[in-house]
Structure 1
């Protein structure tokens, strides 16, 4: 029979992989998910060196992964008196992690889509102002403008949904399950 420390290490690795899978469903790399899992299980902030060793990757690559995690609001650098190295901490609240992942992906999508929609809208307005449109072309333009307006309304709705999550208002309607 395998010794207890090896069994526990295998189980920890399975937990880290499950966390990586969960994060991956939000469009985030499994590498970010694994690092998140490792820090979560450690419970204390970790240095880049510790993370590099735990993941078996270079400090440079680990620095890139940590930067991505910070951009996604999954991690933050923390200061502890007497420690000269950067320490990386993650939120151990699964609800907040979900909100960070959910909102980060939607913010990116909204940003790209809004730029595209506004560009298309402006091109359509410019075409309309050039004039010389027959009834059929004017109807096509109107349909496209209506479609873009609907898309922008949808993007604004998603923005409000993000605010609903980030403000914590969601928990008034879908309460967290509290440990008893």
Structure 2
């Protein structure tokens, strides 16, 4: 009986390590993957103390990891009556975890891209406004400015497309076209 228990624990450990490896593939640290796996395999929310003990990490480091997980929308603090400490729970649906990881990084990219686009627009506007009104742009400068304006428009369209893609994933619409499960015949 003890051997069976050991084997089951070992299999759970392998599962946690596979989740950690998957997270690395998705561009997320293995540490986050391990913590996600530990909570997932525990089947119940866990406190920072429990997580620290289960992973061997300090409580301070565990707090940082949990904060990152919450920012990635793959974990949340939950309340349980009679428990005074914060409990951390994770999404149990692999598909939702996948969507949360990717849309989180896409959102950051969209935000940075839009700020860059706005900055370039302001620079071009400043160039136009700050030159003397009687000073005409030479043909080369005017052509470059028009090319930059076209690029900014393409940039804007691209980030709008990513925003629509985020909505497509987060709304679950993706599953109409790429179903979660395929029935075997």
Alpha-carbon separation, structure 2, partners of 1:67 and 1:113 = 25
SS in structure 1 of the partner of residue 153 of structure 2: helix
The 10-residue stretch of structure 1 (6-15 or 44-53) with the greater mean CA deviation from structure 2: 6-15
Alpha-carbon separation, structure 2, partners of 1:109 and 1:17 = 29
Length-normalised TM-score, structure 2: 0.90
Alignment of 1:160-175 (within 5 A): 160-175=164-179
The 10-residue stretch of structure 1 (156-165 or 13-22) with the greater mean CA deviation from structure 2: 13-22
Q: Is the 8 A contact 1:114 1:155 kept in 2?
A: yes
Please provide the CA RMSD for this pair. Answer: 1.8
Deviation at 1:151, TM superposition (A): 0.9
The 10-residue stretch of structure 1 (66-75 or 17-26) with the greater mean CA deviation from structure 2: 17-26
Aligned match of 1:33: 33
Alpha-carbon separation, structure 2, partners of 1:128 and 1:91 = 51
Q: Is the 8 A contact 1:27 1:105 kept in 2?
A: no
Over 6 Å off, 4+ runs: none
Question: Per-residue CA shift, 1:78-101, capped at 9, x if unaligned?
Answer: 111111111111111011111100
SS in structure 2 of the partner of residue 28 of structure 1: coil
Deviation at 1:3, TM superposition (A): 2.7
Aligned match of 1:112: 112
Aligned match of 2:8: 8
Q: Is the 8 A contact 1:26 1:105 kept in 2?
A: no
Aligned match of 1:62: 62
Number of aligned residues: 179
Bigger radius of gyration among the two = 2
